[in-house]
Chain A
Amino acid sequence: MKFKVRGINTFASTGGRPFDKNKPLIIFVHGSGLSHMVWVLQTRYFAFRGYSVLAVDLPGHGLSSGESLKTIEEMGNWVGDVIGAVGCKEASLVGHSQGCLVTMECVAQHPEKIKTLTLMGGASAIPMNPELLKLAEESNPKAVDLMMDFAHGPAGHFGGHPVPGLYHLNVGSMIVQNKEIKDTLGVDFRACNNYKNGPEIAKTLDLPTLSILGAQDRMCRLKDGKILADYIKGSEVKIIEDCGHMMLLEEADQTLEILKKFIAEHYPLPN
């Protein structure tokens, strides 16, 4: 679906169903350099089960126009604006990686709008390896190769995509490489690296929150994900064994099952 946020053309996948502002809204926020395409194995399920779904492309990413936003704070505020831009008053948020920082910021800036928060592969801070950051800001494709290496667990490196015929590492790689790397991944990595408010923001959150963590995550390590969850009052934690940072693809079914239960309990469809 194409719509405008702050006057800029924005794209969000609606999970294959027409968007309906009268249905409960779930917004999915992708990680660094990526797009709505990483969420296909979660969004379509909810869209076909009575929810309205928006897997947004952040400005400058995927099919959205504009320039990439420079800070996590700006991105968080932008996600809050998406809710009003589509005629809704509230939403549940699901973030992955950088999207966790963004959605936490959104909750902090727009607490009245957000009903639940799901953090996948999150941490309260995502400092970047200086060499990786430099490569991304120089649009060097090696940055993408390194990211795909770090993002997938040992099992994920062999493949085994849940959708027959798809090969994990190259799918993620092409999503990033179909844009100028420095304009998306470079900007996003810098924003993550600069963001320091995570711990303080996390401590202020007061809404149903779920952390889904990969036991073999090398981008946001399990221990860092647990520390983030400890900051958040009452946060549920689910750990997926033998899985890296890309749980939404590497272990899409387990991720969906965990998310389904959480949404059903804390953000149920109206009777």
Chain B
Amino acid sequence: MDPKTYKFDTLSLHAGYQPSKNAGSRQVPIYQTTSYMFDDVDHAAALFNLERGGHIYSRMSNPTVQVLEERVCALEGGTAALATASGMSAIFLTIMTLCNAGDHMVVSSQLYGGTVNLFRLTLPKFGIKTTFVKPRDTEGFKKAIQPNTKGIFGELVGNPGNELMNMPEVSKIAKEAGIPLIIDSTYQTPYLCRPFEHGADLVVHSLTKWMSGNGSSMAGILVEGGTFDWMQNDKFPSMTEPYEGYHGLSFAEEFGPTAFTMMARAEGMRDMGPCLAPQNAWNILHGLETLSLRMEKHCSNALKMVEYLSNHESVAWVSHASAPGHPDKELAEKILPKGTGSMIAFGIKGGKEAGAAFINNVKLASHLANVGDARTLVIHPASATHSQMDEATLKFAGLSHDMIRLSVGLEDFEDIVNDFEDGFRAAKKPRLVANK
């Protein structure tokens, strides 16, 4: 006897939506509206008091966005989700719901540059400090925890160096400390890894990337696993004690496994308002329908690319968890059995100058500040996505000046290789000149 609940591929097409409640519309409708009619005064009061479910104002929730939230939640195996205007706003909302002024976070050092800046420069303005730990330094996460630490945050596969955080072990450290583990799983998508199954308590995504794949829309999401007991200690009074903003409601008592998301929506979306536009939610939903198919192709193209780059005379080094000799290969095989994603970092011989020549001479690969598009993307992080970091921070984050970040797309592999050959040929020329 096995449960007949829907499986991953089915959920990616159907979860969160019932046509019978939407005029029979097979496709999810776009509810392009700011606000929603109340039946009467009693109905309005019930919605404002969180007595019943429903929509009030699209800053708080929207029916199209709701489908996206439920769909991602179902795919991740979570209890609740909250979509936001971007991945960065999902992270900011999560931290602002978790922390108060005077609190502290322990954070992996290998992150998207914007996230580094949020923790390093912006959150201190709100009195929230961070200790950065290198992703492979599992014991370092434990040592960095202070009495006022409210969570551990990291990307499972760090951007851009592709170093893995040992999520199962770090989750044990978080549990011992009575704090949640928050994973930015943008690189993996739930197709490659469902972090709740490895001990994470909260997951955030930039949906702008592989989840949509079409590169058309900004979006982010916070997903709750329902696993964290907010009442186990006195570290989270805003979750456990009566909240003045909703008539003394205790979110943890009332909502249990969905408490964090309920609070993030009720307080964070109400007061900060980084809401997702319904049109963008609809665009992301379109991409999600083909998530499995795309991720399979992304991963298979990435494997071929790793082999190609590893044997290329112009390449000094390649970092991808599938690559022979990668320090995290064993861990990757354990927690990413379907594939280690399509992000590759490689060093080009000739350093920064050669890197610039390579990027300026590829034609098929797009030079831009995004990842996870269906198209192949390249960038030189030290001069773009991570350019606001000083030398020491760049080094600590595992970045070098010869690093090219590659997001492998779905094009025919041979076409990508032909394009790269043009780039490598151009990259050699300055050195030949210099050698003369």
A interface, CB within 8 angstroms of B: 11, 13, 16-18, 35, 37, 40-41, 44-45, 48, 62-63, 129, 131-132, 142, 145-146, 148-149, 155, 157-167, 169-171, 174-175, 178, 242, 252-253, 256
Contacts and interface: CB of A to CB of B under 8 A. Distances in A.
Given A41-B51, A159-B18, A164-B61, 16 more contacts: A37-B257, A45-B51, A48-B51, A62-B256, A142-B3, A145-B3, A149-B3, A159-B17, A162-B53, A164-B65, A165-B61, A167-B70, A167-B74, A171-B257, A242-B20, A252-B53
Contact of A44 (B2, B51, B62, B265): B51
B6 interface: yes
Contacts of A174: 79, 225-227, 256-257
Nearest to A162: B53
B337 interface: no
B247 A45 contact: no
Contact of B80 (A37, A148, A166): A166
Given A164-B53, A167-B16, A170-B78, A13 B253 contact: yes
Interface residues of B, number: 57
21 contacts: A13-B253, A16-B49, A37-B256, A41-B51, A44-B254, A45-B46, A48-B51, A62-B256, A146-B2, A149-B5, A157-B5, A158-B6, A161-B53, A164-B53, A165-B66, A166-B80, A170-B73, A170-B226, A171-B79, A174-B79, A174-B257
B50 interface: yes
Contact of A132 (B1, B20, B49, B247): B1
A63 B66 CA distance: 30
A253 B47 CA distance: 11
Contacts of A175: 256-257
A207 B261 CA distance: 41
B80 A165 contact: yes
B214 to A, nearest CB: 23
Interface string B60-94: 11100110011101100111111100000000000
A55 to B, nearest CB: 10
A160 B70 contact: yes
Contact of A145 (B5, B49, B81, B246): B5
B255 interface: yes
A164 B62 CA distance: 8
B54 A162 contact: yes
B143 interface: no
A165 B5 contact: no
Given A16-B50, A45-B52, A162-B52, A178 B229 contact: yes
Interface in B1-51: 1-6, 14-18, 20-21, 45-46, 49-51
A83 B79 CA distance: 33
Nearest to A45: B51
A178 B246 contact: no
B37 to A, nearest CB: 15
Contacts of B231: 63
The 4 A-B residue pairs with the shortest CB-CB distance, nearest first, are: A162-B53, A174-B226, A164-B61, A163-B53
Contacts of B248: 16, 18
B123 interface: no
A208 B173 CA distance: 54
A149 B1 CA distance: 11
Contact of B5 (A132, A148, A160, A166): A148
Nearest to B55: A164
B237 to A, nearest CB: 17
B336 interface: no
A175 B265 CA distance: 21
B258 A166 contact: yes
Contacts of B20: 155, 242
Contacts of B51: 41, 44-45, 48
B249 interface: yes
Nearest to B60: A164
A35 B225 CA distance: 18
Nearest to B53: A162
Contacts of A44: 49-52, 254
A161 B254 CA distance: 17
A167 B81 contact: yes
A178 B50 contact: no
A57 B81 CA distance: 26
A40 B255 contact: yes
A38 B337 CA distance: 36
A258 to B, nearest CB: 14
A156 to B, nearest CB: 9
A11 to B, nearest CB: 8
A63 B253 contact: yes
A105 B260 CA distance: 37
B52 A256 contact: yes
Contacts of B254: 13, 16, 37, 40, 44
Given A159-B74, A160-B17, A165 B257 contact: no
A197 to B, nearest CB: 28
Contacts of B74: 159, 167, 169-170
Contacts of B60: 164
A164 B61 CA distance: 7
A171 B74 CA distance: 10
Interface in B73-132: 73-74, 77-83
A161 B52 contact: no
B45 A159 contact: no
B332 to A, nearest CB: 26
